[in-house]
Amino acid sequence: MDFVIIANDWSAGIDNPTSKHRIAVELARRGHRILWVEGAGMRSPALTSGADRKRILKKLKSIVRRPRPATEIADVQGRVWVLTPFALPLPHLAWARSLNGRLYGAASSFWARRLGFDRPTLINYVPILAEAMPGWRGKRVYHCVDRWSAFGMYDSRVMAEMDARCCRYAGCVIASSGDLAESCREHNANVRLVMHGVDHAHFAQAIGAAPPPDLPAGPVIGFFGLLSEWVDQELIRKMAAAFPHAQVALIGKPDVDTRSLEGIANVRLMGPRPFRQLPAYLGQFAAGIIPFQVNELTRAVNPIKLREMLAGGCPVVSTALPEVERFAGYSGAVDVARTHDEFIAFVGKRLDDPPGTERRAAISQAVSGETWEAKVDEILGAISGK
């Protein structure tokens, strides 16, 4: 099968692949051809922001080019192309959203034909580009991976409307969490729940890995991922105070103010690390933490890091996210806390009894069936109606 996938920037997933990138790469590894279409922004850019200005310049340079072959991943070369269509950076205006969607649909269809694609299946991850879907001649899939209307950076009303349109336009909707699947069924009866997967072989390398030189000595309470609006910084401060003998290592890029965590002796804001290096850090965690606030946004989240930590043989302590609660007690390695005090008590239990190599291997083996290969099997089954 041929696929056109409208998602985020392709380059964003080279060092730290998202679920979208993992699915596209697995499809390509199986011989399917992919036209990856870099989506338009879902918020209006701020010209006072250096990051936004750089993004605009990058987009302007890309839109005059034909699709470029994706050469960054050796075993999918010749099967993945990357396209950046023109879009007006005005997602707050209905007419601009409609025009952008139609432009994306037309550009994607044109270049797919030029590449020799045969009635490709469209998978859309970007709700603001809903209007790319209605006129698509092949199968239309909306893959819903977030409660877009709950993000503080986006217009809630607009995102709810566009999410609903994507559901209605799709022949099949795939949702990554139970909460998302339930809301998508309000607009489309053909919704399939497909949980996120894990690169099990990659993260299993954490077991017995040598410690990275920049990781602090002593017991490590670890987190990796985006430090964003959903991270409970108050909980992290309380936890650090409760275990002054342990180091709290936070690996990831912050996109919110993290000054409340700076200056705490045993909290290390380590910044992002490439995906290939994460197992080495994970192997030193006595406990992996998912310290998310529980709200409308996070109740719809299916945190990939849960499976990644477990694949690395690391016990996990999380706040009460519905998709983590499915794993509560999983192989004796997942604790779900409903209060800050309970969260801290669970972390203390893990620090007192860190798993050895044999225990880590057993934890890892318990999620060996949760691979991206297995998830792509489910996605292909949903698309084909099986």
Task: Give the Cα separation of 307 and 327 in Å (integer).
Answer: 10
171 shares its domain with 44:
yes
207 shares its domain with 285:
yes
50 shares its domain with 108:
yes
Task: Give the Cα separation of 204 and 246 in Å (integer).
Answer: 24
354 shares its domain with 266:
yes
The CATH number of whichever domain residue 19 belongs to comes to: 3.40.50.2000
219 shares its domain with 343:
yes
Residue 153 belongs to what domain range? 2-197+371-384
53 shares its domain with 72:
yes
208 shares its domain with 133:
no
Q: Tell how strand 191-193 and strand 334-337 pair up.
A: unpaired
Give me the number of domains the chain comprises. Answer: 2
Q: How far is CA 170 from CA 24, 138, 142, 184, in A?
A: 19, 11, 6, 11
Intra-chain end-to-end CA distance of the chain, in Å: 16
Q: Tell how strand 220-224 and strand 2-7 pair up.
A: unpaired
pLDDT in tens, the chain (386 residues): 999 999 999 988 888 889 999 999 999 999 999 999 999 865 555 555 566 556 556 555 555 578 999 988 878 889 999 999 988 888 889 999 999 999 999 999 999 999 999 999 999 999 999 999 999 999 999 999 999 999 988 999 999 999 999 999 999 999 999 999 999 999 999 999 999 999 999 999 999 999 999 998 889 999 999 999 999 999 999 999 999 999 999 999 999 999 999 999 999 999 999 999 999 999 999 999 999 999 999 999 999 999 999 999 999 999 999 999 998 877 899 999 999 999 999 999 999 999 999 999 999 999 999 999 999 999 999 999 87
Do 360 and 205 touch, CB atoms closer than 8 A?
A: no
Task: Give the Cα separation of 144 and 182 in Å (integer).
Answer: 11
178 shares its domain with 209:
no
Beta bridge partners of 4: 35, 122
Whose tokens are 């691979």? That residue is 371
Letter for the amino acid at 192?
R
155 shares its domain with 234:
no
CA nearest 110: which of 54, 66, 64, 74? 66
136 shares its domain with 278:
no
233 shares its domain with 206:
yes
85 shares its domain with 12:
yes
- Using CB atoms within 10 Å of the CB of residue 160, give its burial: 0 to 12 exposed, 13 to 18 middle, 19+ buried: middle
Q: How far is CA 28 from CA 76, 102, 117, in A?
A: 6, 26, 14
